[in-house]
């Protein structure tokens, strides 16, 4: 099951994208719909709200007076906290129930307006953000929804800004154009990324860069790495887990294959081989690659490691699992840091990569052809 988080600022068009994904076959779990469901007449949460805030928050027909309740909790942090203590457990229980009911081969889209604000990006295989400028969103709220401009501005200001949303976005769907343009983007995303991602995830398939194509330096690579790191830490239940962005994409200004290399630090190789560890990474979209279990030192010794790839066709990633402070762990960090600090060393490495890529037909051949250069590097980490 592929879990996708969908979010966007008020007026961005997120609901339109949610509807389009449902039409294409996604199982949509709408946070706003659930939030209304759990306080319907007869629901335990509504009873608890009435007991806490008084009978005045429930109309004569038994329906929650949302506006009246809003006036009570607005500006009263204690009252708001009490309300959230009632509604949030019910919302998350219902959300989990709906996701569990989805088929194993489903693409589940969690339509979550405050995904970024709640810091939930790491909980999904992929995060889609529907984006539009503040001016466009303001116009839509005023002209299409009839919202007073002051209220619209206040709603926009209370949410995450575009910089925060872009940091969380694996996919940014621009919605400044026509409805047809947006729909075309959604269909292309569904067919080229979401469906293949779900298939790869279900079958434990990793994506690969078959041809060693070098890309110009991309300033967004560190942000991609940060999102993958958060996903791995969440999957393993370890927000403090040592996960480092290594390799060429971790070095500003360096050409590289468009592949994010990460290094997970474990206490032992036994920990890396535990079924729970391997399964958690596989379910998060990082299947184990059997046979890639060592690096070779210049003296012929073997540095043990484990290797996982990414199932996401839109973001190739290599995940190296090494024992913290082992020679292999230290070498990867020392090499990255040398590249960052030494311009001549960085330029020499870039020249070598261009030369090797020009005569290598596959990524495997490219990796093998670089080995003599690596053997010449002395980082003193034994």
Contacts 24+ apart (CB under 8 A), 263-268: 263/319, 263/320, 263/321, 263/322, 263/329, 263/332, 263/333, 264/232, 264/319, 264/320, 264/321, 264/322, 265/241, 265/322, 265/323, 265/324, 265/329, 266/321, 266/322, 266/323, 266/324, 267/323, 267/324, 268/323
The reported pLDDT for the residue numbered 136 is 92
Closest CA to 121 of 276, 232, 260: 232
Give residue 278's pLDDT.
97
Query: Which residue from 176, 300, 285 is spatially nearest to 228, judged by alpha carbons?
Result: 285
Q: Within 10 A of 248 (CB to CB), how many other CB atoms are there? A: 23
SS3 for 335?
helix
Q: What is the mean pLDDT of each run of 10 residues along the chain (382 residues)?
A: 96 94 97 94 94 91 89 86 93 95 97 93 97 90 88 87 95 94 97 98 94 94 97 95 97 96 97 97 97 82 94 97 95 95 95 93 89 82 58
pLDDT at 318: 97
The answer to whether 346 and 377 have CB atoms below 8 angstroms apart is no
pLDDT reported for residue 149: 87
Task: Tell me what pLDDT residue 296 has.
Answer: 82
Ramachandran area for residue 299 (φ above 0: left; ψ -120 to 50: alpha; else beta): alpha
Residues 266/272, Cβ–Cβ less than 8 Å: yes
Angle of helix 275-283 relative to helix 221-235, nearest 10 degrees, comes to 130
pLDDT at 328: 93
- Single pTM value for the model: 0.90
Cα separations (Å) of 364 from 208, 212, 214, 367? 10, 8, 14, 5
Q: What is the pLDDT of residue 381?
A: 59
């Amino acid at each position: 099951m592929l879990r996708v988080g969908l979010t966007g600022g008020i007026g961005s068009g997120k609901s339109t994208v949610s509807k389009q994904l449902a039409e294409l076959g996604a199982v949509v779990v709408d946070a706003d719909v659930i939030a209304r469901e759990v306080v319907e007449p007869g629901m335990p949460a509504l009873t608890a709200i009435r007991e806490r805030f008084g009978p005045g928050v429930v109309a004569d027909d038994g329906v929650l007076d949302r506006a009246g309740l809003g006036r009570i909790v607005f500006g009263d942090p204690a009252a708001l906290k009490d309300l959230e203590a009632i509604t949030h457990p019910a919302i998350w229980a219902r959300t989990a129930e709906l996701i569990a009911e989805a088929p194993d081969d489903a693409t589940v889209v969690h339509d979550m307006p405050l995904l970024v604000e709640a810091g939930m990006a790491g909980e999904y295989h992929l995060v889609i953000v529907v984006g539009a400028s503040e001016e466009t969103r303001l116009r839509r709220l005023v002209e299409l929804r009839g919202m007073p401009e002051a209220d619209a501005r206040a709603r926009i200001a209370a949410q995450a800004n575009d910089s925060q949303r872009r940091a969380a976005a694996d996919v940014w769907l621009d919605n400044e154009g026509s409805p047809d343009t947006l729909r075309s983007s959604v269909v292309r995303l569904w067919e080229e990324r979401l469906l293949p991602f779900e298939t790869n995830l279900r079958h434990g398939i990793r994506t690969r860069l078959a041809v060693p194509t070098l890309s110009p330096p991309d300033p967004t690579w560190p942000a991609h790495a940060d999102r993958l790191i958060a996903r791995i830490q969440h999957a393993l239940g370890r927000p403090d887990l040592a996960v480092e962005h290594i390799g060429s994409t971790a070095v500003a200004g360096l050409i590289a294959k468009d592949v994010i290399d990460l290094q997970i630090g474990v206490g032992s190789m036994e920990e890396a081989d535990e079924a729970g560890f391997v399964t958690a990474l596989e379910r998060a979209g990082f299947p184990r690659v059997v046979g890639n279990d060592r690096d070779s030192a210049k003296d012929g010794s073997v540095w043990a490691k484990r290797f996982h790839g990414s199932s996401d066709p839109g973001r190739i990633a290599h995940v190296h699992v090494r024992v913290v402070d082992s020679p292999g762990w230290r070498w990867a960090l020392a090499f990255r840091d040398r590249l960052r600090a030494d311009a001549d060393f960085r330029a020499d490495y870039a020249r070598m990569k261009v030369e090797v890529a020009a005569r290598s037909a596959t990524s495997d051949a490219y990796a093998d052809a670089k080995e003599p250069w690596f053997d010449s590097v002395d980082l003193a980490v034994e």
